[in-house]
Chain A
Amino acid sequence: MKNFQPNFSHIYIEESAKNYPLSKLAIEKFSKSTIIEINHYKDVFNRPNQDFQIQKSSMKLILAKKTAPFLYPASEMVQEFGSPNVFYNTPILNCLYNCDYCFLQGMYNSGNMVVFVNENDFMGEITEKMKSLDIIKNPMIVAISYNTDIMAMENILPLASRWIDFARNQKHLVIEIRTKSALFSLIEKLTPSKEIILSWTLSPDIISSKFESTSPPFKRRLSSAKNAVEKGWQVRLCFDPVILFEGWFEIYTAFFKEVFREIDPKKIRDVTVGVFRMNKDFYKRIKKREPSSELFYQDYEIKDGVVSLEKKVRINSLKKVKNVLNKYLSEDKISVWM
């Protein structure tokens, strides 16, 4: 007997969000869900004293209309190869997956998901911002899947494909869609575009099954990424976080070998690498709730508001990773968060 209601058993909807096509689509998709009217998404999402992890066992969907700001300067923890015009936005708050190391569990009070249905306002803000930036030299880069996994939602709400359609019609705009999903098949019929980077986060099986248990397994993600590369998409591979444990180097070396046996390294745009790191306030908030992942009970150092491995350990291990990656990729294609 199942103890929990299924995901999206309840849809909370703002009055102002009701008439948007995305709301109608969501309600149609989850026709058996209980619909509860709300004044503002924060009345549900920002309630104090919610248990993020227990809510993840029965996530609810909140449909809302976002008000400005629609665009934020990128966090320093996002690697973007030194480009100055980097931003992120939040078409969705929270993620369908629940990886152990994810900062979202420290960022949000709630395990539920908010979908902002006024996507045109997000897009309009980008075109407006582009007017004020020097984008000829440095195109504007927008990460649209920073606080979520937008591609993982594609079979529920086709947001990724709508963003792809938007981006391909802009000059000097690149959008990055970071994902762990295996749903590339849902967008594979779209014509590939240079303006869209599809970024797959990949981890060895042992890491993926232990710390990313709600995401598709490594091989399915790899297969999606491979498919995207073969169809001519700009693909970035994110080996982030690299998790250190006894025998990690051998496992990661074999893992890279497998990845680049499947995907021609010459055909990928670039890779990013980093170890586990987190804003210290998020980390503390998560730890206070006694998470059931061993990642939160290791020795870390806190520097400049970021919790991570001791600098020496971090640099040594990332150098080793970089050396292995250099066998497959040129220096300019590897970005490392040191």
Chain B
Amino acid sequence: MQCIISALKSESQPIIDSFGLKRNNSFPFPVYQNQNISQLIVGVGKKNVEQRISSFFDYYKSKNMYFINIGIAGGGKANSKIGELYLINKIIDKQTKKHFFPDILANSTIDEHSITTVNQSVSNGAGSYTTLVDMEASAIYQACMKRVATHQISFLKIVSDYMDEDMFALNKRMIQSLVMNKIEVIRTYIEKQNNIQKSKKSILTNEDEDWINSTKILLNLSETQFYKVNSLFKGYRLKNSSKKFEKNIFDKPKSKKERNQLFKKICEKLSA
């Protein structure tokens, strides 16, 4: 599952519309979904980020979840362009001085930038910032990295202003339009990330797992025996990618001794 995280409703509206997402009222905060994509709104700043990501993740508990933070950011006139989308390769937390580095694995032509996450919005010009500036990225990275691998977190930021008085003129419609103009680039990026996720397949098929679980119950295998069967089955599957393992044809053992004999036989067959 891919989970897009945005601070504002206006940042997420074009995504909700383009991907046909519907509100899921199971959460006490705004979540929009279809079968593959979720849009989570965390509000401005760091304060709600950990709690909302945690609630969302705990609901699905999927290690395959992929998080993308999509939103607007301030930029400097010298090194960014209003309306341009950037892939973030470095996040600096202004308060803690910590630096974070999202993995950049997907092949993409999106220009890259670094970003500084601040606690107070900046409106007196880019000043000393050579990076983009936002209010959530460092908190989002830290919340996500506790739950998924580093390559499952990305940041796409669209420059909305140069952090000067013009930023006060930004309204919902303008923000929506900034995101909408980049929706196809965002869609392509999501697809590429999805392909990377798909490249990591689990070794066992559902059928294999059913076999192992039913054997565990039928033979009343100990945890150690179960672990060993599971491991040897993976070896078997890697050696025989499409060959079915024989059906469970044994009867429920009448004693521990009989169970252990059956277990030994299974191990021998799996290792053969």
- A→B interface (CB under 8 Å): 1-5, 9-10, 12, 34, 36-39, 43-44, 47-51, 53-55, 57-58, 60, 287, 290, 292-294, 296-299
Contact = CB atoms under 8 A, between A and B. Distances in A.
Interface residues of B, number: 35
B149 A49 contact: yes
B202 A51 contact: no
A294 B192 contact: no
B104 A2 contact: no
A302 B202 CA distance: 26
Interface string B193-224: 00110011011000000000000000000000
A187 to B, nearest CB: 33
Contact of A48 (B145, B231, B234, B271): B145
Contacts of B36: none
A39 B97 CA distance: 11
Nearest to B204: A290
B238 interface: yes
A38 B98 CA distance: 11
B1 interface: no
18 contacts: A5-B107, A10-B89, A34-B104, A36-B89, A36-B101, A38-B99, A38-B101, A39-B99, A43-B101, A47-B101, A49-B149, A54-B196, A55-B151, A287-B231, A290-B234, A296-B235, A297-B234, A297-B236
Q: Which 8 A-B pairs have the closest CB atoms?
A: A297-B235, A294-B238, A51-B149, A3-B195, A297-B234, A58-B105, A294-B235, A2-B107
Contacts of A39: 99
A9 B105 CA distance: 9
A57 B104 CA distance: 11
A39 B90 CA distance: 12
Interface string B113-126: 01000000000000
B167 interface: no
A50 B89 contact: no
Contacts of A55: 103, 105, 151
Interface in B218-253: 231-236, 238-239
B217 to A, nearest CB: 22
B272 to A, nearest CB: 9
B99 A54 contact: no
Interface of B: 89-90, 99, 101, 103-108, 112, 114, 145-146, 148-151, 192, 195-196, 199-200, 202-203, 231-236, 238-239, 267, 271
B106 A3 contact: yes
Contacts of A53: 200
A5 B105 contact: yes
Contacts of B196: 3-4, 54, 57
Interface of A is mostly: loop
Contacts of B271: 298-299
B202 A290 contact: yes
Nearest to B152: A51
A10 B148 CA distance: 22
A34 B110 CA distance: 12
A12 B105 contact: no
Contact of B112 (A2, A34, A49, A54): A34
A54 B107 contact: no
A54 B200 contact: yes
Contacts of A50: 103, 149-151
A3 B151 contact: no
Nearest to A34: B112
